[in-house]
Structure 1
């Protein structure tokens, strides 16, 4: 993902995105994005909506400064649709869960509808300006190697508070890497839901350290409930204004590089790791 360099003419940048999106839309594509292999509960639906929306928008190079607003709209409108027409969103009444294929179709249709809506210049002019602090430049790259499927996932979420309608003036950006083991389900689940459980923690946004701890524990517990056979490491960077928080599980790495020097930011969970034990 590239930094949106057109903050001075952000409406022009947004207009070009919407026009290109609609021009290149393929209404016959029944599976435009990847979907999970599991049904989701009502409590998991927000994370799934975000993951599906961003997959779809990023294919079309949505400006980073527009992503949070677009995701927020899709969340609000799909949740309203789930209340009024739940089966159109994939609800399986007997299981009380949502099937991923039908939910994906509802989400991508909603994104299409919103993009059509903003072709109207009067609506376009109402879009909020980018954050006053420029968004960081972020890129992602992954190599599958010899495995049959890519088991790893990465996540970049700009302006988390806008995305989740959090009333807080801080600019919060979220980055995560999940190294899947024994399959992709755990990494897929973490990529869709760890940030959701972070924001839903009672400690967010006032105490990011405790909120991150809550998010890791909740993600682990909810994934175990699904009885799927795979695992994942996790490393998360949460940038709150100019303060960087790092949280991890397993041996994935994070480093801070500046002027040719670097600092390791994690102490990987390896078998030989020295652990201090305190008796209370």
Structure 2
């Protein structure tokens, strides 16, 4: 983290918020929910704080550290004044359920903790340790021809800083969630899954087990919220966690991840689809069925066989994630995460050629890139995801499309590698065989 950039931000932020927000005053950013349980407060507060700081141009590492410090202070407070009053007509079962908090006043307290921490750091700033490596990441998402945008994504290179983890293992977290029937399940997963993952004792020793537990816990949490608020949506998801030289990918449904090593696509996973033989057998063993209605569907409803949410079709639509772990050897190029809106139009074997082609034409820092980068040498991978999304749309995808490209090596190295080895043409030739006929 650049010290001068951090000091400059703290100066601007404390100029804007020189004192705590007054009771009853409007919040500078709206909470996701009107009511939250104590467990949800963790994820919703972090999301709120990161969103507020991002809109004001805070360095990402500083944002994570500020939010972590503010949340730690918030959780030391007596939160009983924020408890929601019991409804007079509540049933006995509801009265015994989890205690809910009024989101706006408790989030005002959180934001005031954030302001307090910022003021203290502005007056006595000590540069905190930063991740030794921040991987370049290109992300682009579009609503496409759909009426609503139901995808969500999260890039969290500062995983340890956000959760105060100091075990010497560097971590970065990347996620794409593809909602259906509304955006609530995707939003919930993007807000809470990484929080649940951070609390798993097996995170360092067995990331796959940690992921499976975190997915299941997030699904259970969302079940309670869906019951309270009569929500009916669901979401597939694909998530990657990099711990030092270990890549763990976890997924539910038909969102996918592709690893590319030395210009060749490496299969990491098999997406969960109703027509997949083992998924079909699992559903039929439970008493369900797979029917074809334009596409294969579970009990004539959902076109995915695993998801967060979709509680009207549980357990046929399972909430159990699958995981795979890969040791990174240093010759990996990147990992690509995307929803089915991309992979319905682009075969995984086409990814290396499309990315290489995008890299060769992405050096121009024209308007429309994903994230403004400062150094000219960093412009190489800037608009890759945008060009991949455009390709999927041109190839016929009408769905929401989200593409996330996490470079495991600097993208300019990939270009120089292909120029030096002559593999670019070979990659193009092999990929063209899979290209859809126009």
Same fold (TM over 0.5): yes
In 1, Cα distance between equivalents of 2:55 and 2:46: 14
Structure 2 gap ranges (5+):
87-97, 283-438
Note the aligned Cα RMSD (angstroms). 2.8
Question: Which of 10, 14, 18 is the equivalent residue of 2:6?
Answer: 14
Aligned position for 2:288: none
Larger radius of gyration: 2
**Equivalent residue number for residue 43 of structure 1:** 39
SS in 1 for 2:153: strand
Aligned-residue offset at 1:128: 1.3
- Cα deviation for residue 15 of structure 1 reads 0.4
1:120-170 per-position Cα deviation (integer Å, ceiling 9, x unaligned): 1xx11x241323x22222343321235554322111223323322334110
- Structure 1 residues 24 and 253, CA gap change in structure 2 (3 angstroms): farther
- Check whether the contact 1:68–1:158 (CA below 8 A) recurs between aligned residues: no
Compute the displacement of 1:264 (Å).
4.2
Matching residue of 1:130? 130
Task: Please list, as runs of the form range in 1=range in 2, the aligned pairs for 1:103-182 lying within 5 A after superposition.
Answer: 103-120=106-123, 123-124=124-125, 126-131=126-131, 133-147=132-146, 149-182=148-181
Deviation at 1:60, TM superposition (A): 1.7
Q: CA deviation at 1:78?
A: 1.3
Cα distance in 2 between the residues matched to 1:96 and 1:155: 28
* 8 Å Cα contact 1:33/1:56 also seen in 2: yes
Cα distance in 1 for residues equivalent to 2:85 and 2:216:
29
Shift in CA distance, 254/86, structure 1 to aligned 2, threshold 3 Å? same
- 2:34–2:103 Cα contact (<8 Å) kept: yes
What is residue 75 of structure 1 aligned with on the other side?
Answer: 71
Q: 1:244 deviation in Å?
A: 0.9
Within a 5 Å distance, the mapping from 1:175-254 to structure 2 comes to: 175-226=174-225, 227=227, 228-254=231-257
Change (3 A) 1:246 1:47: same
Task: Give the total of aligned pairs.
Answer: 263
Q: Deviation digits for residues 82-122 of structure 1, max 9, x if unmatched?
A: x2x543xx4325372123333332333332332232221xx
Mind listing any 5+ residue stretches in structure 1 that lack a counterpart? 1-6
Look up the SS of the partner of 1:234 in the other structure: strand
1:171 & 1:140 partners in 2: Cα distance? 22
TM-score (norm 2): 0.55
Kindly state the Cα deviation for residue 25 of structure 1 after the two structures are TM-superposed.
Answer: 5.5
Q: How many angstroms apart in 1 are the aligned matches of 2:51 and 2:105?
A: 16
1:97 aligned onto 2:96: no
CA distance in 1, matches of 2:269, 2:102: 37
Deviation by residue 1:230-275 (Cα, 9 ceiling, x = unmatched): 1001110001012111000011122224555433433111122232
Equivalent position to 1:61, from 30, 48, 57: 57
